[in-house]
A = this chain, B = another copy of it.
Amino acid sequence: MKISLIGAGNLATNLGRALVDAGHVVCQVYSRTQASADALAEKLGCRGVSNLDEVVTDAQLYIVALKDSALSEVLPELIRGRNYALWVHTAGSVSMPIWEEYGLKHYGVFYPMQTFSKAREVDFAEIPFFLEASGKMEMDILKNVASSVSRRVYEADSEQRRYLHLSAVFACNFTNAMYAASARLLEEHGLSFEVMLPLIDETARKAHTLHPTEAQTGPAVRYDRNVIDKHLTMLDEHPLYKELYELTSRIIHDAKSI
Contact = CB atoms under 8 A, between A and B. Distances in A.
Q: What is the size category of the interface that chain A forms with chain B?
A: 35 or more
A178 interface: yes
Contact of A173 (B115, B174, B208, B220): B220
A172 B117 contact: no
Contact of A252 (B114, B173, B231): B173
A179 B207 contact: yes
Q: Does more than half of chain A's interface fall in helix, strand or loop, or is it mixed?
A: helix
A33 interface: no
Interface in A150-202: 152, 154, 156, 159-160, 162-164, 166-186, 188-191, 193, 195-202
Interface string A245-258: 10110111011000
B203 A115 contact: yes
A135 interface: no
Contact of A240 (B231, B235, B254): B254
Interface stretch (A5-13, A43-51, A211-219): A211-219
A169 B242 CA distance: 12
Contact of A126 (B120, B164, B198, B247): B198
